[in-house]
Amino acid sequence: MKRILVFGAGAMGSAFTVPCVDNNNDVVLVGTHLEDATIEIIKKEENFHKILNCKLPKNLRVEKFEKFQDEIKKKPDLIVIGVNSKGIEWAGKEISKNFNSSSSILLLTKGLTVINNKFETLVEKFKFILKNNGIDDVKVSAVGGPCLASGLANRIKSSVVLTNEKIEIVKSIRDIISTNYYAVECSNDLVGVETCAAIKNIYSMIIGASEGLSSSNVDREIKSKYFLNTAASLMYRAISEMSYFTKKLKGKEETVYGLAGLGDLYVSSAGGRNSLMGKYLGQGHLYKDAKELYMKNITVEAAELAFEIGPKIFKDLKEKEFPLMFSILRSICENKKLEIIW
């Protein structure tokens, strides 16, 4: 039995506790300072999670943020970070206060960033944050692959890939979290897995727009029946661009065609917040209007990533090499109508 601390009571952080508990670990879910109300409801409803619409394991401990430092001091074997990308820096500072180097860290958060005018993974950003707070020599890994939170929470068969440049680290994590419904692969291609995990959000938005983009000459009913021709074409073009982009960042092409790339792109395009925003953009809405009208209080990861890396992409990359990416970035960063050159 291992001690696992999951930090962040959102959908994925909470869902991740299920295979951890099912593997007979001592697991505690601690909410952030913004999730006290969520934690109260979970406790009151006997571990029922409203967003996931199901009960979490009955022997899962659930605590408010005020207990976080107490749990860190217990030196958990694994600390799982389930906050969104905007909260990564804050989470790193909080962990640094009482962190012990014997603990491994696993990031559920997906994204890319720019540090010193260079694309960096969130793992590198997190290490940078910890180092700035006096913590060095820390084992930080990440997860990628096609795994929707609600499916995992309901023990639907899923597959993911854990990544660290030192593959023995993620193999040890795999051994304490994998179950008969949660299959875990391991990879040392940290850059490839993290890059795919991030940019697939942008491309799933493009594929989500496929119905609206499928034709300008037929009515909506016809589009809704036959848009899969367009979606499949965009899927192919998206994977091609993802492969080229990943190789530019020194990731492995084979990773793009695995769980972290093709697998995650498929499930994200089939449903989720990014593809939903893509649907609105495909219908002709401008990004700011769609966000205000339909998704005002909902995080759209692809949009956050676009604002983070868009300026560097516009500056350093060529549109002819990444036409889909440039199209979606313009629609978000410049609030222009989404248009795809066919």
Q: Encode pLDDT of 79-129 as tens digits.
A: 999 998 889 999 999 999 999 999 999 999 998 999 999 999 999 999 999
- What is the rounded CA–CA span in Å between residue 268 and residue 13? 17
Q: What pLDDT is stored for residue 137 in this prediction?
A: 85
Of the pLDDT bands very low, low, confident and very high (cuts 50, 70, 90), residue 251 is very high
Give the domains, in start order, of the chain with CATH numbers: 3-188 (3.40.50.720), 192-333 (1.10.1040.10)
- What is the rounded CA–CA span in Å between residue 12 and residue 152? 8
Q: What pLDDT is stored for residue 271 in this prediction?
A: 79
State the chain's mean pLDDT as an integer.
94
DSSP state of 109: -
Q: What pLDDT is stored for residue 121 in this prediction?
A: 95
Whether the predicted pLDDT of 217 surpasses 80 = no
Q: What pLDDT is stored for residue 86 in this prediction?
A: 87
Residue 119, H or E segment? strand 118-121
Burial bucket for residue 250 (CB in 10 Å: 0-12, 13-18, 19+): exposed
What are the CA-CA distances from residue 328 to residues 21, 158, 308 (Å)? 40, 29, 14
Q: What pLDDT is stored for residue 209 in this prediction?
A: 92
Please state the pTM of the whole predicted model.
0.93
Whether the predicted pLDDT of 342 surpasses 90 = no
Q: What pLDDT is stored for residue 227 in this prediction?
A: 86
Looking at the DSSP bridge assignments, the partners of residue 4 are 27, 78
pLDDT in tens, 141-161: 999 999 999 999 999 999 999
pLDDT in tens, 13-69: 999 999 999 999 999 999 999 999 999 999 999 999 999 999 999 999 999 999 999
**For the residues 189-195, what does the mean pLDDT come to?**
97
pLDDT in tens, 62-85: 999 999 999 999 999 999 999 988
Q: What pLDDT is stored for residue 85 in this prediction?
A: 87
